[in-house]
Amino acid sequence: MKEGCWSMKLKKQVLTKPRHRSPKANMVELGIQLSGIKRQFEDPSKLAVYLNQQAAKVKKPFAFPKGTHFHVNHEIKAFEGLYYIVLNQQLRPAKRLVYFCGGEYAEWPTKEHWNFLDQLAQATKAQIYAPIVPTIAQGGGPVAYPWVRKFYEHLLDLDRHVPTTMLGDSAGGGLAAGFVSTLIDQNLLLPNQLVLISPWLDLSLANSAISDYEKSDVYLSVAGLQRVGQRWQGEWEQNDPRLSPVEADWTPEVPVQIFVGDKEIMYPDCLRFAENLRQQHVSVDLQIGQQMFHDYPIYPTPEGQHVIKEIADFIG
């Protein structure tokens, strides 16, 4: 596709409401910057401390982080040695969402994740399942994917007929896309849609365009994520579509919605993934947050509220 045509398509899909970044988004970005999380990923010694801290946390029983507030019912359930959380549990749900939370494949979901999912449950009226997937400390991708497969089969055993949307943000977005690609490859029952938020779609982060966005990304460091990615892949190849689905084979049966900011390092691979899907005649709703940071939809801002509405409309 010619560059001009690609740019024209993007213009039609850039988020325009709100037109200018909100003061709340400015404050959230400043808070991320002051937290020092990017320096934590840039410095190998600080990254090692962080990974050790997360490894210790996942050995403990799951608990919601401080600052989590729910307006829908919720329940922690055990499954195959780990946990999943059900939000907005219903006797006969009309639709089901399966959400994989991000966390660099190392960390359990944050309060921002749970507060976002609470709002998403209210907006969509859907029953939401949020699995607590094995982290790099628990074996990485080679352990996580079989567990996710069992979990998905468990949901199908509960009800094979309820419409299902799979979602994920950041590392969880990469996991969701990679898992759906395996379902396609193995001709298994597919979700009705896939929704991705700032997904990590290529473990290598080798796209040359990424360097143009690293300075403006207040959250992520390429070198730090590459170190984490090496631990997540285990004995698998880095370009395995389960781990790096950016160029995976797809099917038009699963339309895809993608949200990404244009101030984050995941942006170039989201464009690459969207183009790969379009080449395979897949319906893609690519929405770019102007001047927005990594994972911006999960934060309590006007931009985040707009994304929740867009997701609810996409799911139907």
Q: What is the pLDDT of residues 64-91, one digit of tens each?
A: 999 999 999 999 999 999 999 999 999 9
Q: What is the pLDDT of residues 141-151, one digit of tens each?
A: 999 999 999 99
Question: Mean pLDDT over residues 173-196, rounded?
Answer: 94
Helix or strand (DSSP H, E) at 131: strand 127-132
Q: Spell out the domain ranges in the chain.
A: 31-315
pLDDT score of 154 more than 50:
yes
Q: How confident is the model at residue 13 (pLDDT cuts 50, 70, 90)?
A: very low
3 state DSSP class of 129: strand
pLDDT score of 15 more than 90:
no
Task: Tell me how far CA of residue 165 lies from CA of 22, 61, 168, 199, 230, in angstroms.
Answer: 29, 28, 10, 16, 29
What is the predicted pLDDT for the residue at 71? Answer: 97
Peptide bond into 191 cis (omega under 30): no
What is the predicted pLDDT for the residue at 290? Answer: 93
Structure letter (DSSP) for residue 106: T
Residues in the chain: 316
Q: What is the pLDDT of residues 264-315, one digit of tens each?
A: 999 999 999 999 999 999 999 999 999 999 999 999 999 999 999 999 999 9
| Architecture in CATH for domain 31-315 | 3-Layer(aba) Sandwich (3.40)
d(CA 262, CA 296): 11
The first and second tokens of residue 266, run together, are 């995941």
Got the DSSP string for 218-269? SS--HHHHHHHHHHHHTTS-TT-TTT-GGG----TTS-EEEEEETTSTTHHH
Do 244 and 203 meet the contact criterion of CB atoms below 8 Å apart? Answer: yes
Can you give the pTM of this predicted structure? 0.93
For residues 8 and 240, which has the higher predicted lDDT (pLDDT)? 240
What is the predicted pLDDT for the residue at 272? Answer: 97
3 state DSSP class of 169: strand
What is the predicted pLDDT for the residue at 6? Answer: 31
- Using CB atoms within 10 Å of the CB of residue 266, give its burial: 0 to 12 exposed, 13 to 18 middle, 19+ buried: buried
Helix or strand (DSSP H, E) at 99: strand 96-100
Percent of the chain with pLDDT over 70: 94
Cα end-to-end span (Å), the chain = 31
pLDDT score of 8 more than 50:
no
